[in-house]
């Protein structure tokens, strides 16, 4: 049964524009490496992002658009995917310089010498 609304109760719903999110924003990366004799793993989670840097984490029906890439045999897969090995080599190469940078950054400020 249709009943016409009073003018002040009429709802106007604006149309939604189509959103094109063709980029990937990585929200987290989890690296597991339990020991030298145990296989490592990686989980990379990402959401779509637009070219103007808007994260699109929910679809039109409210569904979660988060996706993940899972690598269960990290060391084995590094042998077959040289880019994966290069990426992890870069992470490892950054550890010592990062430690040195953070030590300087987080060092207590020196007191000015008497003036």
**Per-residue pLDDT tens over the stretch 48-107:** 999 999 999 998 888 999 999 999 999 999 999 999 999 999 999 999 999 999 999 999
pTM to 2 decimal places: 0.75
pLDDT of 115 > 80? The answer is no
d(CA 83, CA 101): 26
pLDDT of residue 5: 84
pLDDT of residue 111: 78
Do 46 and 56 form a contact (C-beta atoms < 8 A)?
Answer: no
Task: Flag the least confident range among 2-6, 29-33, 106-110.
Answer: 2-6
- Is 90 exposed, middle or buried (CB count within 10 Å of its CB: 0-12, 13-18, 19+)? exposed
């Amino acid at each position: 049964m249709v009943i016409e609304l009073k003018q002040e109760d009429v709802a106007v719903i604006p149309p939604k524009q189509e959103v094109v999110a063709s980029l990937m924003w990585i929200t987290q990366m989890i690296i597991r490496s339990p020991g030298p004799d145990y296989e490592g793993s990686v989980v990379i989670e990402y959401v779509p992002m637009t070219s103007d840097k808007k994260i699109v984490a929910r679809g039109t029906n409210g569904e979660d658009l988060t996706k993940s890439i899972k690598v269960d045999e990290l060391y084995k897969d590094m042998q077959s995917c040289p880019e994966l090995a290069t990426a992890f080599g870069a992470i490892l190469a950054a550890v010592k310089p990062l430690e040195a940078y953070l030590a300087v950054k987080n060092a207590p400020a020196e007191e000015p010498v008497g003036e």
